Amino acid sequence: MSAWTPARIGDLTGRRAFVTGATSGIGRQVALELVRHGAEVVFGSRDAERARELRRHLESEVPGARTAAVPLDLGTLESVRSGAEWARREWDGFDLLVNNAGIMAAPQRRSPEGFELHMATNHLAHFALTALLWPRLEARNARVVTVSSLFHALVKGIDPGSLETLGASRRYVRYRAYAESKLANLVFALELDRRLHASGSRASSVAAHPGYAATGLFRAGPSLGVRGPWSLAVQQVSRMIGQPAAMGAWPVLMAATTPGLASGSYVGPAGQGGLRGSPQLVGWSSVAGDPALGRTLWEASERAAGLTFHP
């Protein structure tokens, strides 16, 4: 079979997707391809002007595109709750949720609720959003796509302190914090799949990673503080070997739109050790697939978000 490209996306007319992080980078490309193939796209944004710009862009690229924006700041659980409430009030269901937004290599900071910022933004906010939207997702046997990273394999576990307001006692390392949050994304996706199977739900949970994509992610985190030599080096390397955001979006789009894709699948680039190329099904680290870690993370996430999630 030929390599996967967006040309293989079928007609999505009548389907509604909720996408986080759609105003830039990979999320922007995902939103564009979804509307290009007929889907209605709802996206969360903390910046009203950027949301308006994205809607103008999508509607200029795809005349008649159906789009809507929800005020949503993934850096705070209060905004996640209000954004999810807005979405539940406005729409009776979603066929697809793409948990894409994230930050990378930010200096040590905490969310307003007191959680380490990478874990709060990249994992906990998406866990809470999925839980709060679940009645609208299950109503349409939705597919949840959670975006992880090759970085997930660089760490051997998740610091429990990152999901506690007291935090960790160890020295903060920004790329380790990012890697653990992306491990949490993948662990969450796989644990959600286990729970869907156990409950007999027809909804599905899959994950994807973009490989090494040259997007604003490499600037957004470091820009929260003073740039150091390591951050500048990473940005330089990304310009040399990173694939464009459009191709970085392909694994996410394959995961989101492939008919019959098995729940529990993980999609990433096929070439250069997963760094770039057309997407395919890929494997994950042994840590990511550990059911005990999945249960532990789920329970810690429920406590941190102040909710229960029984899909």
Q: Annotated active-site positions, please?
A: 178
DSSP 37: T
Instruction: Count Cβ atoms within 10 A of the Cβ of residue 48 and give its class: 0-12 exposed, 13-18 middle, 19 or more buried.
Output: exposed
Give, in degrees to the nearest 5, the angle at Cα 305 between 156 and 81. Answer: 130
Among candidate residues 42, 21, 173, the one with its CA nearest the CA of residue 95: 42
Residue with tokens 């996206």: 43
Grouping H, G, I as helix, E, B as strand and the rest as coil, residue 203 is: coil
What is the arrangement of strands in the sheet containing 96-99, beginning at the earlier edge strand? Answer: 67-71, 40-45, 16-20, 96-99, 143-147, 204-208, 266-271, 276-281
Instruction: Count Cβ atoms within 10 A of the Cβ of residue 194 and give its class: 0-12 exposed, 13-18 middle, 19 or more buried.
Output: middle
d(CA 118, CA 101): 11
